[in-house]
A and B are shown apart, each in its own frame.
Chain A
Amino acid sequence: MAIKCKAKADGDLVEVKVLMKHAMETGLRKDSKTGEPIPAHYITEVTCSHNGNAIFRCNLGPAISKNPYLSFIVSGPKVGDTLQIASLDNTGETDSGETVVK
């Protein structure tokens, strides 16, 4: 549960803000001491689900900043509903978080 998220309802729409902790290495950088390339390690996919259904999905590339932040608007969830956020990175690591719509 390392993904921090907040969801705030505004009429029928819900604004979701997500903050993840991740190095987001591009694979282009080199270690300043050894000169060895640092292997790519970045989040590739983030999904927001409501009642088990994916309501928003995004594919990220290495060009997303370290500790990625995302904001988006969805419709469907109501105040008091729980939203789940899940992420997957290019090495297969997963992470998740959840929030209650306010």
Chain B
Amino acid sequence: MKRREFNKSLIALSGIGASLSLGVIPLSVNAARSITAFEAETGEDAMNELYGTTSAEPSEAISFKAPDIAENGAVVPISIMADIPNVDHVALLVLNNPSPLAASFEPVTAGATTVGTRIKMGKTSQLMALVRADGKVYSATSKEVKVTIGGCGG
């Protein structure tokens, strides 16, 4: 509960002074959320911000469930399954979105790694999943999801 309150005050602060939010506050205190990763404009930058590396080993153990054609880019159901032990971080990227990183998941307890959500897609794009296990980063790229109407506004 304390941590949440603290985050709250952080966000309030960054709203008041842009100089503050640019400076010391974000990463050091709230290590769980990498703000710069969510603002990164390419998949590689986001990966670098998240894991400090841009090399990931392609893995067959990661699979996607995604539609071939998403008629409405505002709501695209996606799920990621990873058959890898000791996963501690999963990231979902939409490579052609203005900011590719859509969400990151941190399974704190060991369990089967399956996460699902609904995302917005600006245009036809491939999806990328990054999975960190035992300090190693694995990646998988999905088939292209075709988007008829973009869902990012503009």
Quick check: A62 and B99 within 8 Å, CB to CB?
yes
Quick check: B154 and A29 within 8 Å, CB to CB?
yes
Q: Bin chain A's interface residue count.
A: 35 or more
Question: Given that A63-B102, A75-B110 are known contacts, is A45 also in contact with B7, CB under 8 Å in the complex?
Answer: yes
Quick check: A26 and B4 within 8 Å, CB to CB?
no
Q: Which residues of B contact A79 (CB under 8 A)?
A: none
Q: Bin chain B's interface residue count.
A: 35 or more
Question: Given that A28-B98, A54-B108, A63-B102 are known contacts, is A69 also in contact with B117, CB under 8 Å in the complex?
Answer: yes
Instruction: Across the interface, name the chain A residue whose C-beta is closest to B33.
Output: A59
Report the separation of the CA atoms of residues A60 and B119 in the bound assembly, to the nearest whole angstrom.
10
Instruction: Give B102 Cβ to nearest chain A Cβ, in Å.
Output: 4
Q: Which residues of B contact A94 (CB under 8 A)?
A: 4, 8
> Can you report 10 A-B residue pairs in the complex whose CB atoms are below 8 A from each other?
A57-B108, A58-B105, A63-B101, A63-B102, A64-B103, A71-B79, A91-B15, A92-B8, A92-B12, A94-B4
User: Which 10 A-B pairs rank lowest in CB-CB distance, beginning with the nearest?
Assistant: A29-B153, A75-B111, A63-B102, A71-B116, A65-B118, A58-B105, A92-B11, A61-B38, A92-B8, A57-B106
